[in-house]
């Protein structure tokens, strides 16, 4: 049983019109983002509201973008509250310091952190509310609270019972308990049980509101013409043709370009198309992805900044009788969210109201406050459902939110700024292009004893507020994660990992599984080449290298067994496997593939073994793994962003291909029962497949 002391609870209960509202506080985790500007980060909080109508409303401190936390976090509260699951409701919480992420000190969603970071405090909220309801019942019955029990939304005393709704108002008068005990695993009735998502019915019927669905009587629509070259600026523009388009009301210049404001989307788009703009392209006009890759290859042959080192890899390699040299590169990738970016803004009376789907409420709130000239607490963010995030809606620059505030401020009216898919694919943020050059020396048993690894690629933290905090000695750890901490390297006596981080005009950002998208590909591909060079089976070779890593071994063997590794594959097919640890979870995947007469690769089945510690909702875990596999396969088989003369050549799904239903393989997921510390699940399965 886990005890939570009074010092870990914010000692207050608030009465709203709906009944009992419980606020919960835990201290920021050690090792989180350091304090900024001399101010301590805000304490994170979560809330649950029990109402007289028997509803139990969970306020979600994070953003629901398809990953299932709308249901998962509600399950945590419901477990400890002993409420009727059918009475659970969920709302996005407003943007406020009390909803800051426990580990990061900011309100945000990302890094596959929500479930594990909220596991204790959301359960504690439920336990705290339950205790106060029980005390309210004890007061009414004039008995000892210890003699009462709870079940399915009722407090029970023999044959007597009171519903939580009947007790909601009285419970708010109760003093919060000094401590609460959380259920042990054996007592769980909801956590760990396959549970259907709470948001599915509304999404099927169309009732769920995404940012693109926001409507208000006085709301206008804006589209912004942005430079076709990254870093370009407006020299001059002629808006006369745009203003003649029916429905166009204003044309205003903003820092990112020229905005056309109209009564509807199509008028705004036609107006934007009619603009005549003279652009100053700046130095970004010289970027060519093919030439850039060649420059990366040249840099990879030079010494970079040391990210990790043990022994003398160069010296050891010089004595190697068997050496494997490999080079791997990955392209720029777009996030390609199904719902294009959008943000509605209303300014007035010293306030700024925002309606959008965002992953980064704190940063958006600060940016909006600065632009609107109001205090951060006067910026209200109404978080909507997100039609995909993958990191794109969590930019440190708050690009699409900041732009929308600029547009509304310049226009002087409420405006929803909308990006088309072409806008984002051609002018958004990208997973960086990376190149790996690796030299490995093998001993007489075929094991690596010398390893020289050079990585070239842009830092996603460069130029952001996080650079000073998180880039140490010239090394962005995000660029090298999955290599410097790889279990394969731990037993290599002489190893060095170096990094080149060129600064370019191309904007880059975290992308589903972040650095692991390229490091897992390079590491697992190299291990296959080492196995081939030594004449070993890929599973056997990995098992030998990971002999001291029982969780990795178990995941590998589980996935291999599920896929039928060692047995003959169907005619014309072959199998490959990979295992990778990221975000605290270990995932092994075996892909069954074929190559047709046109040399096109087809993936028929992917068998996955998942060790993520506690799986709050196994159905949610399964869905996330399946989605991550599809996302990773899109990257490795079809998606690529290329630049020519500084311009992105792709624009929409016709030339920036993603996996479609006919190409989706069967994905079989085995969740491994594990007592390990809980890890993330939204991103880890992307890395092994890509």
Please state the domain extents for the chain: 2-199, 211-282+341-418, 289-333+431-689
Beta-sheet strand order (sheet of 494-500): 305-310, 494-500, 448-457, 434-442, 322-330
Distance, CA of 72 to CA of 624 (rounded, Å): 12
Which H, E and C letters describe 309-363, residue by residue?
Answer: EECCHHHHHHCCCEEEEEEEEECEEECCCCCCCEEEEEEECCEEEEEECCCCHHH
The CATH number corresponding to 289-333+431-689 among 3.30.365.10, 3.40.50.1700, 3.90.198.10, 3.40.1190.20 equals 3.30.365.10
Give the strand order in the sheet containing 19-25: 13-16, 19-25, 45-50, 56-60, 88-92
Can you tell me whether residue 117 is helix, strand or coil? helix
Q: Kindly report the length of the chain.
A: 690
* Domain boundaries 211-282+341-418, CATH class: alpha beta
Instruction: Say what the pLDDT of residue 25 is.
Output: 40
Q: Which residues contact 114 (CB under 8 A, 6 or more apart)?
A: 62, 67, 69, 72, 73, 680, 682
The Cα-based distances of 646 to 229, 400, 426 in angstroms read: 5, 21, 11
Task: List all residues 6 or more positions away from 674 whose beta carbon is below 8 Å from its beta carbon.
Answer: 551, 611, 612, 613, 614
Could you read off the pLDDT of 55-104 as tens digits, one per residue?
A: 999 999 999 999 999 999 999 999 999 999 999 999 999 999 889 999 99
Model pTM above 0.85: yes
**Is 2-199 in CATH node 3.40.50.2000?**
no
List, in order, residues 6 or more apart from 469 with CB less than 8 Å away.
33, 34, 36
Residues of the chain with pLDDT under 50: 1-18, 24-45
**Residue 292 host element (H or E):** helix 289-300
Tokens found for residue 663: 């190409």
Asked if the domains at 211-282+341-418 and 289-333+431-689 fall in one CATH topology, the answer is: yes
Q: What is the DSSP string of 434-448?
A: EEEEEEEEE-TTS-E
Q: To which residue do tokens 């709302």 refer?
A: 91
């Amino acid at each position: 049983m886990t005890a939570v002391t009074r010092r870990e609870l914010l000692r207050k209960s608030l009465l709203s019109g709906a009944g009992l509202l419980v606020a919960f506080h835990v201290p920021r985790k050690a090792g989180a983002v350091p304090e900024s500007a001399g101010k301590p980060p805000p304490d994170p909080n979560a809330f649950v509201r029990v109402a007289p109508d028997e509803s139990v409303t969970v306020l979600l401190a994070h953003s629901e973008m398809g990953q299932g936390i709308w249901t998962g976090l509600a399950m945590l509260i419901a477990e400890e509250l002993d409420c009727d699951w059918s009475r659970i409701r969920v709302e996005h919480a407003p943007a406020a310091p009390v909803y800051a992420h426990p580990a990061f000190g900011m309100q945000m969603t990302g890094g596959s952190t929500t479930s594990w970071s909220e596991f204790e405090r959301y359960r504690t909220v439920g336990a705290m509310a339950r205790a106060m309801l029980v005390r309210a019942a004890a007061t009414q019955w004039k008995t000892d609270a210890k003699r009462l029990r709870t079940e399915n939304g009722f407090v029970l005393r023999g044959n007597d019972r009171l519903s939580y709704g009947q007790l909601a108002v009285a419970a708010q008068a109760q003093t919060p308990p000094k401590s609460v005990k959380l259920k042990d695993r054996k007592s769980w009735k909801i956590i760990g049980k396959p549970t259907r998502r709470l948001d599915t019915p509304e999404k099927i019927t169309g009732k769920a509101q995404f940012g693109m669905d926001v409507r208000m009587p006085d709301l206008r629509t804006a589209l912004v013409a942005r430079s076709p070259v990254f870093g370009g600026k407006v020299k001059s523009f002629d808006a006369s043709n745009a203003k003649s388009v029916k429905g166009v009301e204003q044309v205003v210049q903003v820092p990112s370009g020229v905005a056309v404001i109209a009564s509807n989307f199509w008028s705004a788009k036609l107006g934007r198309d009619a603009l005549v703009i003279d652009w100053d392209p700046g130095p970004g006009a010289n970027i060519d992805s093919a030439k850039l890759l060649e420059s990366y290859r040249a840099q990879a042959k030079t010494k970079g900044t040391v990210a990790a080192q043990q022994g003398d890899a160069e010296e050891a390699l010089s004595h190697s009788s068997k050496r494997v040299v490999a080079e791997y590169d990955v392209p720029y990738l777009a996030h390609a969210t199904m719902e294009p970016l959008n943000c509605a803004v209303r300014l007035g009376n010293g306030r700024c109201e925002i309606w959008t789907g965002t992953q980064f409420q704190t940063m958006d709130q600060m940016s909006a406050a600065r632009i609107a000239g109001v205090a951060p607490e006067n910026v209200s963010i109404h978080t909507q459902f997100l039609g995909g995030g993958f990191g794109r809606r969590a930019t440190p620059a708050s690009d699409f939110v900041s732009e929308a505030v600029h547009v509304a401020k310049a226009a002087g009216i409420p405006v929803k700024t909308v990006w088309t898919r072409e806008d984002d694919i051609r002018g958004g943020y990208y997973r960086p292009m990376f190149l790996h050059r690796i030299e490995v020396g093998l001993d007489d048993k075929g094991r690596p004893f010398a390893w020289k690894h050079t990585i070239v690629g842009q830092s996603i933290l460069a130029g952001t507020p996080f650079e000073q905090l998180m880039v140490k000695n010239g090394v962005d750890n995000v660029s090298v994660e999955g290599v410097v901490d790889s279990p394969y390297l731990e037993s290599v006596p002489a190893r060095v990992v170096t990094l080149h981080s060129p600064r370019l005009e191309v904007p880059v950002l975290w992308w589903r599984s972040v650095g692991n998208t390229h490091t897992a590909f390079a590491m697992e591909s190299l291990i296959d080449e080492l196995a081939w060079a030594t004449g070993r089976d890929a599973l056997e070779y990995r098992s030998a290298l990971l002999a001291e890593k029982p969780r990795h071994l178990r995941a590998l063997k589980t996935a291999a067994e599920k896929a039928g590794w060692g047995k003959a594959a169907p005619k014309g097919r072959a199998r490959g496997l990979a295992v990778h640890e990221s975000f605290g979870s270990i995932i092994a995947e075996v892909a069954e593939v074929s190559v047709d007469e046109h040399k096109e690769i087809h993936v028929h089945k992917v068998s996955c073994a998942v060790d993520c510690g506690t799986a709050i909702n196994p159905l949610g875990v399964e869905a996330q793994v399946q989605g991550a596999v599809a996302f990773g396969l899109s990257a490795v088989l079809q998606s690529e962003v290329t630049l020519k003369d500084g311009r992105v050549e792709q624009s929409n799904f016709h030339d920036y291909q993603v996996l479609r239903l006919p190409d989706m393989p069967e994905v079989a997921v085995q969740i491994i029962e594990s007592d390990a510390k809980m890890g993330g699940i939204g991103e880890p399965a992307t890395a092994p497949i890509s």
